[in-house]
Structure formats: C-alpha cells, structure tokens
Copies of this chain bind each other. A is one copy, B any other.
Amino acid sequence: MSKKYNVVGIGNAIVDILGNVTEKTLEDLDIGKGVMQLIDIERSKSLLNSLQNIKQTSGGSAANTIAGLAQLGLDTAYIGKVKDDDFGKVFIKDLEKIGAVFKTPFADYSINHETGRCIVMITPDGERSMNTYLGATEFLSAKDIDPELISSSQYVYLEGYRFDGPDSVMAFEKAVQIASSNDVSIALTLSDPFCVARHSQAFTSLIKESVDILFCNEEELKVLHGSNDLKQALTQVSKDVEILACTLADKGSYVCFEGGATLIPTSKKKVVDSTGAGDLFAAGFLYGLCTERDINTAARCGNTAAGEIISHIGPRSQEDLLELFRLEKLI
C-alpha cells in the first residue's frame, strides 16, 4: 500500500459519560427512557450531578470505528471538533492512546461552546437513556479538512450524523472532492433511521454521485429507500454504490456487490449493550478490505467485531479482535 493512512474518519467528537440511575431519577428529571434527547450546556451540567459510578470514554460513531481500526493495528486518523477543555482532552488522549492520529484544531475561543458529550443514564433494567449536548462538534467545518490527510488515505469514512450541521456538510463536500481526485475510496455510514429521515435527499445525492461503500442497518436502508421491502431496497440502493453492507442485528449482514446480494450470518451472542455494534461492524469490514481479504470475508470480520462489542458495556473491544479473527480463520 502506497498510502500513509488506511482510513481517515470524519464525524462527531463527543465524550460518552456513562452512569447508573434509578427509574425514579429518570422520572424526576423528566428524561424519556430509552431515547436520545438533545440538551443544552446547563442541562448537561445539572444532569452530571445526578449520576453515580461515572465512566468516561471517547465516543461518537465514526470515532468508534476509527478506534476499532487502530486497535486492529491499521494506520488511522480522525477529524472532529472539540474545545480545549477537559472533555476535549479526554477525547484526544483516548484516540491517541490507541494510535489514531488527531490533528483537528481546537474550536476557536470565540466559539462559546464546550466539547460535546453524551450523558448515558443506565437504569437497573439495562436500558440506556441518552442526553446529548453537541457543543463544539457542531462547528466542524471545511477549514478543518486537511487535504494532505485525506489524499494520503486509502479510505475516507463519513459519519451521517454530521449532515445535521450545514458547516459540516461543506466539510464533507471538500473531503469528497479531495478524495475523488486522489484515488481515495469514500465510505458513508447512515448513522440512524431518523438521521436518514432528516437528510434523505442529501444522502441519496451523495450516494449516487460519490460513495463507494455504504454502511447501514436494515431500518436506515428502508427509510432511505422509502419502503418496508428490504429486498427491493437492497436491489435498488446497491445499484448506486460499489459495495453496500447492511447489518441485520443478530441475523448478521447483507453485502451487495457486482449485482449480487449475499447474507453473511453471524453466530448469535447475548446482547448486553448494542451501542457501537454498527460502528465496529464497519471497523471489521474496512479491516478486511484494507488487508485485501475478499468482500465476504470482510463482512465476516465485521460480524465478528460487532459480536464482540455487543457482549459487554461500552463501544471499545475488550477481547483481542485479531485473535478472534484468527480463531474463526478469517485471517
């Protein structure tokens, strides 16, 4: 490989803060159970006071994928926006510790927003209620896209969530332009069915014009295609991309390429926490492609990585994924 980086990710830069709460606390704080709600900085600070057994980790969907790839030993970099504050330092330190390069400048001091965070409240039944303050991550803009970094990567991986910010959409446009003229493959993850609902036209255009690899789950693909018919959605959307990889929770994943669609089953695992399953599927899949495995094997790597992540709390692998790949004779 002649490129310096295997994969550069562009997306949210958010710190996850996990803590335990009682059902009564959720009710007292008027928090919708099991859903993601956006909050402001004051609310974020007051909620932090209600948490017990706090655990902090860098989060954000594409950042999880890049972390997974770095842990698998690939050369990775990440572009996302944090402020020069405590949470910002946690985010960067965490990525750098596992070997991902992070060079995005801090949000300007004139920007009166702190580093983004997602306060995850876990009730005794294991359900997660998320309270997200986006903050600085919303200020990712075209000037944060380092042309040198993009052009020296094999793949650029775009996080759908950042389509929520007009400045970030311009950042994606710049990245796509540089990638297209420098033989860099473009991967996109659809992030969330409601995110697809918010931006279906923008996603559809980007997919038709520029995306080489599309990552999604069943619900996201159906919303994108506007129908409940998964087969139809796979057939139609796969015409617009070289590779379509669609995860199916405990059923595994579909991969579509060269006009065919193959179901790659996964061995069922008990789901402890499904957060990050899609992110790690993408990491496993891109690992397979970067190390020149065939596409079906790449999907099996994705299934295995996702299977590891759902078996414990938190979006970072606790087992050695390479060892798991070896055990399953994928590498």
In the complex, A32 Cα to B232 Cα: how many Å? 10
Q: Is A45 an interface residue (CB 8 A)?
A: no
A227, chain B: closest CB distance, angstroms: 5
Tell me the chain A residues, 8-46 only, with Cβ under 8 Å from chain B. Answer: 32, 35-38
Query: A209-244 CB contact bits vs B (8 Å, 1 = yes)?
Result: 000000000000011111111111000000000000
Say how many copies of this protein the assembly contains.
Answer: 2
Q: Which residue of B lies closest to A226 (CB)?
A: B198
Residues on A facing B (Cβ under 8 Å): 32, 35-38, 192-198, 200, 222-232
Do B223 and A36 have beta carbons less than 8 Å apart?
Answer: no
**Chain B residues, Cβ within 8 Å of A38:** 229
**Chain B residues, Cβ within 8 Å of A194:** 222-223, 225-228
Do B229 and A35 have beta carbons less than 8 Å apart?
Answer: yes
Do B200 and A230 have beta carbons less than 8 Å apart?
Answer: no
A229, chain B: closest CB distance, angstroms: 5
Do B228 and A35 have beta carbons less than 8 Å apart?
Answer: yes
In the complex, A289 Cα to B161 Cα: how many Å? 41
In the complex, A32 Cα to B228 Cα: how many Å? 10
Q: Contacting A35 at CB < 8 Å: which of B193, B223, B230? A: B230
In the complex, A173 Cα to B224 Cα: how many Å? 26
A326, chain B: closest CB distance, angstroms: 37
In the complex, A200 Cα to B203 Cα: how many Å? 14
Do B229 and A36 have beta carbons less than 8 Å apart?
Answer: yes
A289, chain B: closest CB distance, angstroms: 29
Question: Contacts A32-B229, A192-B228 given; 4 further ones with Cβ under 8 A?
Answer: A36-B229, A37-B232, A193-B223, A197-B223
Do B230 and A32 have beta carbons less than 8 Å apart?
Answer: yes
In the complex, A225 Cα to B228 Cα: how many Å? 19
**Chain B residues, Cβ within 8 Å of A36:** 227-229
A120, chain B: closest CB distance, angstroms: 14
A198, chain B: closest CB distance, angstroms: 4
In the complex, A149 Cα to B275 Cα: how many Å? 54
**Chain B residues, Cβ within 8 Å of A223:** 193-194, 197, 223
In the complex, A227 Cα to B38 Cα: how many Å? 10
Mind listing 11 A-B residue pairs with CB under 8 Å?
A32-B230, A32-B231, A35-B228, A36-B228, A37-B229, A37-B232, A193-B223, A194-B225, A194-B227, A197-B223, A200-B200
Q: Which residue of B lies closest to A198 (CB)?
A: B226
